[in-house]
Amino acid sequence: MTRFAAPIAEQIWDMKYRLKEADGTPVDGTVEDSWRRIARALAAEEKNPEQWEDRFYDALADFKYLPAGRITAGAGTARSVTLFNCFVMGTVPDTMAGIFDMLKEAALTMQQGGGIGYDFSTIRPRGAMVHGVAADASGPLSFMDVWDAMCRTIMSAGSRRGAMMATMRCDHPDIEAFIEAKSDSARLRMFNLSVLVTDAFMEAVKADGSWDLVFDGKIYRTVEARDLWNRIMQATYDYAEPGVIFIDRINEKNNLSYCETIAATNPCGEQPLPPYGACLLGSINLARLVDKPFEEGAGISDEALDGLVATAVRMMDNVVDVSRFPLEQQAEEARNKRRIGLGVTGLADALLMMGLRYGSEEAAAKTEDWLKRIARAAYLASVELAKEKGPFPLFEAEPYLASGTMMEMDEDVREAVREHGIRNALLTSIAPTGTISLYAGNVSSGIEPVFAYSYTRKVLQKDGTRTEEEVVDYAVQMWRDKFGDADLPAHFVNAQVLPPEDHVRMQAAAQKWVDSSISKTINCPEDISFEGFKNVYMQAYETGCKGCTTYRPNDVTGSVLSVSEKTEATPAETPELAQEASEGAEVVYMSEPLDRPQALEGATYKLKWPDSEHAIYLTINDVVIGGHRRPFEVFINSKNMEHFAWTVALTRMISAVFRRGGDVSFVVEELKAVFDPRGGAWVQGKYIPSILAAIGGVIERHMIAIGFLEGEGKGLKTDPTAKVVGLETGRPGKACPSCGQFELQMVEGCMTCMSCGHSKCG
């Protein structure tokens, strides 16, 4: 009998978490082997490792406790990767040398698999004087472009590119350019952006007052606060970015406010961290803990929850000691404060099993109860660890107890901390759990509502064909197993039908007992008014949230998945929710390369790279399909024998991609993003970061010339070889960069593929 609740769960495990040899031979024969590997690795830090290995294994068994993906994939493998998910890098100095030192540190961190955050508010604004060189500063956004290019070239652990968060204070003189950066769809694609909003700014917005834009004590401009707020809101309304982080609240509520100041978060926003801050993540799977699901008296045992939380805290504390770190500063920061981020997943499914409608007052109250129970159990478990192993090195009882979070804690917890100290400075966080939720049987993700109760997933077979399989939400499958084809009860609601206010209510309820923050997406209907949209953010601020991220489908963001309701009575009575993909949602690519015609039209381009003795010649030939030209093959030649191997390889690979058809514009994008660490060159008045980027530029110019691309940064015209199948309503979303399927959905601020589990944010 398999331990997996759904085929997709086993596929995710095999693809992302199963330990294999370099040649692909499995080391973990079963998922039980993976659990044993993790348990053994984390128990090695204990005085009685055999005893704790079994306790740790029991917590992992049946997916009750879900360590974050980096722990699940990396613990016990002896691989040189970090087990930490989240990093905020050091403060960026306002000097050229310091900026590029930070760039190097970012590359080293992403190389080991860490997502990173940066505050770019410390870089002087565009046009400011650079003393000593008689020049004007280019501003923080120009350096963000450099970071973006670097991130494109670094593959993070496994097959995932690194993710980055950039923040900027609401009073920085370049804040307006930062707000509007994502209006260019080709810019800063590797970044999530968030504005650091202060309490003073929010009060100025409410009062319709003025707002100074300041750097290094100098006022550069004064604007109307409400106008600036409206610009933030309009950009988010149109492009889903930037997000908003209530930075004063984060610092006020921080247990470590006496020894650190926070100005940035990790890529998904659930971990506000100081310079070189690091945090690891894990989730209690509430969906697996409900007794008597769908019956009278359904609930979660307090004792079972307390015991699982205590074991999880111990496991996560041990990760601090067994993990590698990209930088020594990160290791020191982690060990001085021993931050962990224990959260939950499967919340919405657990509520469904108890007959509660997600977003209702009753569901919010139950969420608050569960999160308080978890917080209490986590803090008391950390006190027990402090008795045994000592508190975190920077612990100071009185200032720690005077922090915002600890002021809210029950007196018995405060007294225990006062007497014995605490092992971990912060303990709770709610992270994006898209992939590990699929691995656990497609439980609802984090504290999000169920996105779709079922959908059809296309699976690529070895012979190139695709088969379809139904992916069903965990709670819905339990309902089917118990009641057969009986209609789903009225309290079964999903993200598509919930008003934004219900999302905010649930986030605020959870935030009361989460000492870090929460990754949560507030889904808004496309037709929400701009005023209504702004009210969502104001509600989030007024109800105690630490940040706000929304997603409104539109022509720019795309409607990634749509769900229709078919009802026999009223929508509130018998909703049968069925997955519909949007029109154009599946592009059928050429399944086999086209045969090469005897003659093709094309063009040859000469590329002269500075300091190179010989020019490179590119010949690009096109095929005509339906009266339209599209690139079919490339030949790259040079007399420079140092170029021979890579030009032949590039010729073959690019031609193979072109002959498969579909959207091949990514070839240009990837080549233009490559930078040479030895430096690029100025070509025709434009800086090109590498010879490969120059080749990408030539291919792009050719695509524009033949009408395949509209123009630089404008994207593809309609692909004449693409055939749209099957689906009748909605708007096409974006293709998954990993599997090519049009099954991305916004989950906790991060696009996640429902077909293969790929997630931009890790």
Q: Dump the DSSP string for 218-252.
A: EEEEEEEHHHHHHHHHHHHHHHS--EEEEHHHHHH
From the list 750, 733, 371, the residue with the least C-alpha distance to 586 is 733
| Ordered mean pLDDT values, 10 residues apiece, the chain (762 residues) | 84 91 91 97 95 97 95 90 88 93 89 85 92 80 90 54 87 97 85 96 98 97 98 94 96 96 94 94 97 96 98 98 93 97 97 97 98 98 98 97 92 97 97 91 94 78 68 93 91 90 97 96 92 97 96 69 35 29 32 64 86 82 78 87 82 85 79 76 76 90 83 34 29 54 62 66 55
Rounded to whole angstroms, the Cα distance separating 408 from 748 reads: 26
> Nearest 5°: CA angle at 178, between 173 and 182?
165
Q: Is 306 left (phi over 0), alpha (psi -120 to 50) or beta?
A: alpha
Convert 13-56 into a string of H (helix), E (strand) and C (coil).
HHHHHCCECCCCCECCCCHHHHHHHHHHHHHCCCCCHHHHHHHH
Residue 242 lies in a domain: yes
pLDDT at residue number 102? 93
Which residue is listed with tokens 């696009």?
751
Cα separations in angstroms, 719 against 554, 661, 662, 707: 22, 9, 7, 10
The 3-state DSSP class for residue 629 equals: strand
State residue 557's pLDDT score.
Answer: 65
> Is 428 inside a domain boundary?
no
pLDDT computed for residue 462 by the predictor: 56
In angstroms, the CA 230 to CA 11 distance is 44
Q: How many helices (H) and strands (E) does the chain have?
A: 24, 34
Distances (CA, A) of 648 to 525, 544, 598, 651: 50, 59, 22, 5
Asked if the structure places residue 408 within a domain, the reply is no
Active site annotation includes 105: no
At 585 the pLDDT is 31
User: Which whole-number Å values give the CA distances from 199 to 222, 392, 730, in the listed order?
Assistant: 18, 31, 40
Where among 193, 220, 253 does a domain terminate? 253
In a domain, 113, yes or no: yes
**Rg of the chain (C-alpha set):** 26
Task: For residue 44, count other CB atoms closer than 10 A to its CB.
Answer: 15
The residue annotated as part of the active site, out of 266, 318, 494, 523, is: 266
- Give exposure, 133-144, as e/b (b: 16+ Cβ within 10 Å): eeeebbbbbebb
The dihedral through the CA atoms of 64, 66, 72, 76 has a sign that is negative
Q: What is the largest CA-CA distance in the chain?
A: 85
**295 has catalytic annotation:** no
Q: Determine the length of the chain.
A: 762
Contact by Cβ (8 Å): 435, 16: yes
Decide if 268 is catalytic: yes
187-243 residue pLDDT tens: 888 899 999 999 999 999 999 999 999 999 999 999 999 999 999 999 999 988 999
Cα distance between residue 712 and residue 186, in whole Å = 9
H-run or E-run covering 698: helix 691-705
Instruction: Please pick, among 270, 586, 633, 748, the residue that the annotation labels catalytic.
Output: 270
Q: How many domains does the chain have?
A: 2
The enclosing H or E element of 100 equals: helix 96-111
Q: Give the tokens for residue 315.
A: 């496991």
With CA atoms as reference, report the closest residue to 253 among 417, 373, 406.
406
Structure tokens at 374: 């978890």
DSSP state for residue 448 in the 8-state scheme: P
| CB-based contact 581:564 (threshold 8 Å) | no
Integer angstrom CA distances of residue 266 from 194, 253, 561: 11, 18, 26
Q: What are the pLDDT digits (tens) for 251-307?
A: 999 999 999 999 999 999 999 999 999 989 999 999 999 999 999 999 999 999 999
Backbone torsion region of residue 523, taken as left when φ is above 0, otherwise alpha when ψ lies between -120 and 50, otherwise beta = beta
CA atoms of 23 and 180, how far apart (whole Å)? 46
Q: For residues 755 and 434, what is the distance between their CA atoms, to the nearest angstrom?
A: 12
Helix (H) / strand (E) containing 350? helix 347-353
Last-in-domain residue among 229, 253, 277: 253
The answer to whether residue 356 is domain-embedded is no
Give a yes or no: residue 673 inside a domain.
yes
Range of the domain at 106: 87-152+159-253
Write down which residue in 215, 231, 253 finishes a domain: 253
Residue 146 maps to a domain: yes
**Residue 453: alpha-carbon gap to chain centroid:** 22
Q: Would strands 65-67 and 550-551 be described as parallel, antiparallel, or unpaired?
A: unpaired
Q: Residue 623 pairs with which residues in a beta bridge?
A: 630
**Do the domain assignments include residue 142?**
yes
Q: Kindly state the DSSP code that residue 413 receives in the 8-state scheme.
A: H
Quick check: helix, strand or coil at residue 575? coil
Distance between CA atoms of residues 475 and 117, nearest Å: 35
Helix (H) or strand (E) holding 577: strand 576-580
